[in-house]
Amino acid sequence: MEFYDKSGKTVSRLISIACRPPRGRGGDIVFDEMAIYPENKAEVIYTAGIPVTARGGCVEIGSTPLGKIGRFYDVFVDKKKYRTYNRYTIPWWFSAALCTNVEEAVRNAPAMDTEERVYRYGTPPVIEAFEAMLLEDFQQEFECTFIDSALSFITLDLIYANTPGMRAEDRTEEIRGGNIEDADIEDEKDLEIKIFRTSDELCAGYSREEHGALYLGYDVARYRDAAVIYVLGVVDGKKMRCGNRNEK
């Protein structure tokens, strides 16, 4: 997309590159929703993007938080290492579309807890979203809060480091249809972790001789009735198969 000035002498271009390294170009660069990028891909894109501004230009990064992990979180909190960045937080009460009195809320809302400010200043859609979501989820999506994974027994860093094959950047082939939840992955040999959707599938697909020992884990639902049972098994000393069962 190109923009001409009134005299027609200069042209500005807007180039959109969907989650790919922006090589071979110069100018300003924007990383949108960077916290959502797959972990390895975020590093590749950021590393390729910084040289783009070497001959003049700026870097802008915007995102909804997604845990205390990744490049976006590092840039936001490490003011010594990333000292050239200015940081801005824009929660829901900064928006007239979501807040009934922006001027008053900007002054008072930060001193309130989430529930108090939602019912005091939130529009009906905001109140509806608050009542339909877990508190931590609402704070992340609407109030720019980085959820502390230290409260979890298993941190996001540990989970990401031990789930090879499930992330797009770890795969040698694309999942058919592009969505792991919808794809038929039965015959995909490059997928290191295979998911059985039901207990019947797990039992039917399991062989002690082929799959080895199984290990069962139980994730107790803390905030809602949605506990999960996971079964893991070692294949050839390294490959994993897993099944899960949701209990509601």
- Number of residues that this document lists for the chain: 248
How far is Cα of residue 107 from the mean position of the Cα atoms in its chain? Answer: 30
Other beta carbons within 10 angstroms of residue 37's beta carbon come to 22
Instruction: Look at residue 151 in the predicted model and tell me its pLDDT.
Output: 54
Instruction: Look at residue 26 in the predicted model and tell me its pLDDT.
Output: 73
Which residues, 6+ apart, have CB-to-CB distance to 127 below 8 Å? 118, 119
Nearest to 242 by CA among 206, 205, 194: 194
Instruction: Look at residue 89 in the predicted model and tell me its pLDDT.
Output: 93
Q: Which amino acid is at 219?
A: D
Output the six-digit token pair for 48: 């390729």
Instruction: Look at residue 178 in the predicted model and tell me its pLDDT.
Output: 37
How far is Cα of residue 79 from the mean position of the Cα atoms in its chain? Answer: 22
The CA distance from 137 to 150, in Å, is: 16
- Please give the full DSSP string across 220-234, using - where no structure is assigned: --SSSS-EEEEEEEE
Q: Which residue has the tokens 């000035």?
A: 5
What is the three-class DSSP state of 58?
Answer: coil
What is the three-class DSSP state of 73?
Answer: helix
**How far, in Å, are 81, 131, 132, 140, 152 from residue 137 at the CA level?**
29, 11, 10, 5, 15
Sites in the chain below the pLDDT cut of 70: 1-4, 8, 10-11, 13-14, 18-21, 23-25, 39, 149-199, 202, 205-206, 210-212, 220-227, 233-248
The CA distance from 166 to 101, in Å, is: 44
Nearest to 245 by CA among 200, 198, 205: 198
- Composition of the chain by helix, strand, coil, percent to 5: 35, 20, 45
Output the six-digit token pair for 245: 């069962």
Instruction: Look at residue 144 in the predicted model and tell me its pLDDT.
Output: 92
Output the six-digit token pair for 219: 């994730």
Instruction: Look at residue 88 in the predicted model and tell me its pLDDT.
Output: 93
Domain extent listing, the chain? 2-77, 92-143, 187-247
Instruction: Look at residue 95 in the predicted model and tell me its pLDDT.
Output: 95
Q: Which residue has the tokens 């079964």?
A: 231
Instruction: Look at residue 22 in the predicted model and tell me its pLDDT.
Output: 72
* Whether pTM exceeds 0.85: no
Instruction: Look at residue 18 in the predicted model and tell me its pLDDT.
Output: 67
What is the three-class DSSP state of 25?
Answer: coil
